[in-house]
Structure 1
């Protein structure tokens, strides 16, 4: 039996050549996968650059079984095959290449996401959430393209299919518009970053610390301890007060002293308060003035700023200022005003006077910070 003997439309020599091409291609791919790729991976781990790590991770996802279809297609080129058989082999090789490309694209996306999360974990929580959400969308797009390419290779009319999917997608979008609205709002929150995990928010009449930002809901932990679950679209469409990004905190004190306080003492009170405020750590004094004559007190208004936003430290400083003011007034003999009423009487038949009254009010603190959410 010679090499010129015909077998299924091809000579024995052609069949042997095709077998040799298939074996050589398969062996070459196996050697590349087993030795070259593993050596490159060890090299990439020893360098500081990310590009070689990316290439190593992507190539490590090569599926040897899929590459065999490429070897089969290469071998078939040496043969004269029935058109139907040749078409099947060509389509199988094309589908294998498309699927392998999808696997490589997913691996590259997973590598980037993993590297980003490792770098930003604990520093930018909302960016981690954004990348996790976008990576899912990215994988969905990749495999959608892969599926369409496979269908196109199988002879399916992709244009007609896309048109039908478009009509169906519109119907689904109308039925799930609330869910899609929350999904788009989550992307808006993630990309625009009006707040991040850990910020203290006031959203309408709700307030709390951001615990998580999901695809549909944002979850807050309120001051009372309960969890508040808000739809992302509701959050986006509401005015938000983000107290987590305060750089400092404003405080106001209103103090009233009695009217019998000497004028020279009244003139020194703003200076006393300034000295007391300046003595506190992390406090920036702004101003203190005699602001008016009340019904029963001479009133002083004081403005100061806490250079750190934490409410508990603000209240500690405010308490220290008030106690120091009380101690200073006590040493100087200055009395805080408190509600009193003085009644003057005149003898019967004396029309020269009339009954009058006066009052005095105690020290009053009208600080704008009424709750830990105050600003």
Structure 2
């Protein structure tokens, strides 16, 4: 077939009402678009990978992984849409093409969001694994599920709105149904959101020693509804996540030092010179231990039956058993030093003072009885 005849045949032949020449131009444009998208994506991914290698930032690694999650199928769809835009199509097809453009972009955004959420959850799990947690917590799973559901709900509603579906009534019905369900299971939802708050805010983690009210122990499991604590007595205590977050939580994982305040009293038979020397004796006993740092020791007050002292020191190591061993050593040292100084520890005492009435030779009997009653009423007892 001569070239002129072939050219004429291409221009005059149609396929489903579209000239063959236009179809060839559209396919060529689609192929060029697909190759161009691949080149741009490869360039962006390479630049992001270099940035991630040089900076080591988490954002750069996230960009690399998100770009690598680009769907090849959606790239083909976009390329075909570019080629189809060059064709002379009826008006109704042009509106359909614009809708397909939005659907393809929305789906790709959803896939990128899924990739980012998955990477965030994976990093959360890795951080916990480095601190001794060997499995994905239920809170992390709940967080991942909630974010993915929210993402695809937004994508689906956006697509439906773009293709002409009235989603206002649909959203309103979902809202009414959601309120009804929330009222029916509000206690369960409260515990679920409390679990999510624990996962995000991290007031405590598995393995931490916490004190909540009268409960003290190590956190074993953080579940969707409850948290399980192994108490010092050995039993497992199960607490609702909602009730747990309503109370003040003391977390001892970050404890670095202990500030200890303790007091003692000595007898009133102690001389001023001995009372003045006692703070120095206490400081010497505390400074003898390298794990302790002396803060202060003072003759605090005159008690009911003792001279009261207050001592403050810092334990550099947070271990409770070490603190008790050192406090015991200080107490024994005080006993030895006070025995050598002749100072006695005070103990509660009671002193009774009885005032006797003066003898009376004259006067009526009732007055004598009144004097005896007054003498009995003047007796006083002082006890601590």
Secondary structure of the corresponding residue to residue 157 of structure 1 = coil
Deviations 1:250-275 (A, max 9, x none): 23243556x87777556544442333
Question: Does structure 1 residue 26 correspond to structure 2 residue 12?
Answer: no
Compared with structure 1, are the counterparts of its residues 267 and 78 closer, same or farther at alpha carbon in structure 2 (3 Å cutoff)? closer
Compared with structure 1, are the counterparts of its residues 2 and 339 closer, same or farther at alpha carbon in structure 2 (3 Å cutoff)? closer
C-alpha deviation, 1:189, in angstroms? 4.9
- Count of aligned positions: 337
Question: Which segments of 5 or more consecutive residues in structure 1 lack a partner in the other structure?
Answer: 342-375
C-alpha deviation, 1:165, in angstroms? 0.5
Q: Is the 8 A contact 2:49 2:60 kept in 1?
A: no
- Choose which of 260, 263, 288 in structure 2 pairs with 1:250: 260
| Aligned equivalent of 1:174 | 183
Question: Which segments of 5 or more consecutive residues in structure 2 lack a partner in the other structure?
Answer: 1-8, 351-384
- Choose which of 150, 159, 168 in structure 2 pairs with 1:150: 159
Secondary structure of the corresponding residue to residue 107 of structure 1 = helix
C-alpha deviation, 1:226, in angstroms? 3.3
| Aligned equivalent of 1:349 | none
Question: Does structure 1 residue 284 correspond to structure 2 residue 291?
Answer: no
Question: Does structure 1 residue 62 correspond to structure 2 residue 70?
Answer: yes
Which deviates more from structure 2 when the two are superposed, residues 163-172 or residues 88-97? 88-97
The Cα RMSD (Å) is 4.2
Deviations 1:327-357 (A, max 9, x none): 223444556678999xxxxxxxxxxxxxxxx
| Aligned equivalent of 2:3 | none
Q: Is the 8 A contact 1:250 1:304 kept in 2?
A: yes
Secondary structure of the corresponding residue to residue 322 of structure 2 = helix
Q: Is the 8 A contact 1:286 1:303 kept in 2?
A: yes
C-alpha distance in 2 between matches for 1:52 and 1:185: 32
Q: Between Structure 1 and Structure 2, which shows a larger proportion of helix residues? A: 2
C-alpha distance in 2 between matches for 1:56 and 1:299: 72
Compared with structure 1, are the counterparts of its residues 266 and 6 closer, same or farther at alpha carbon in structure 2 (3 Å cutoff)? closer
C-alpha distance in 1 between matches for 2:105 and 2:271: 95
Secondary structure of the corresponding residue to residue 313 of structure 2 = strand
Secondary structure of the corresponding residue to residue 280 of structure 1 = coil
Question: Does structure 1 residue 48 correspond to structure 2 residue 59?
Answer: no
C-alpha distance in 1 between matches for 2:275 and 2:48: 80
Deviations 1:301-349 (A, max 9, x none): 44223344432222122111012122223444556678999xxxxxxxx
Compared with structure 1, are the counterparts of its residues 42 and 292 closer, same or farther at alpha carbon in structure 2 (3 Å cutoff)? closer
C-alpha distance in 1 between matches for 2:273 and 2:144: 71
- Choose which of 14, 21, 31 in structure 2 pairs with 1:6: 14
Question: Does structure 1 residue 140 correspond to structure 2 residue 149?
Answer: yes
Which deviates more from structure 2 when the two are superposed, residues 232-241 or residues 172-181? 232-241
C-alpha distance in 2 between matches for 1:238 and 1:340: 42
Secondary structure of the corresponding residue to residue 297 of structure 2 = strand
Secondary structure of the corresponding residue to residue 55 of structure 2 = coil
Which deviates more from structure 2 when the two are superposed, residues 142-151 or residues 21-30? 21-30
| Aligned equivalent of 2:328 | 319
- Choose which of 142, 165, 173 in structure 2 pairs with 1:164: 173
Compared with structure 1, are the counterparts of its residues 38 and 186 closer, same or farther at alpha carbon in structure 2 (3 Å cutoff)? closer
Higher relative contact order (CA 8 A, sep 6+): 1
Q: Is the 8 A contact 1:186 1:213 kept in 2?
A: yes
C-alpha deviation, 1:14, in angstroms? 1.5
Q: Is the 8 A contact 1:306 1:314 kept in 2?
A: no
Secondary structure of the corresponding residue to residue 75 of structure 1 = helix
C-alpha deviation, 1:99, in angstroms? 0.8
- Choose which of 209, 233, 236 in structure 2 pairs with 1:224: 233
Compared with structure 1, are the counterparts of its residues 205 and 87 closer, same or farther at alpha carbon in structure 2 (3 Å cutoff)? same
Which deviates more from structure 2 when the two are superposed, residues 210-219 or residues 138-147? 210-219
C-alpha distance in 1 between matches for 2:243 and 2:264: 39
Q: Is the 8 A contact 1:249 1:314 kept in 2?
A: no
Compared with structure 1, are the counterparts of its residues 28 and 336 closer, same or farther at alpha carbon in structure 2 (3 Å cutoff)? closer
| Aligned equivalent of 2:381 | none
Secondary structure of the corresponding residue to residue 179 of structure 1 = helix
| Aligned equivalent of 2:242 | 233
Q: Is the 8 A contact 2:208 2:253 kept in 1?
A: yes
Q: Is the 8 A contact 2:263 2:309 kept in 1?
A: yes
Question: Does structure 1 residue 99 correspond to structure 2 residue 107?
Answer: yes
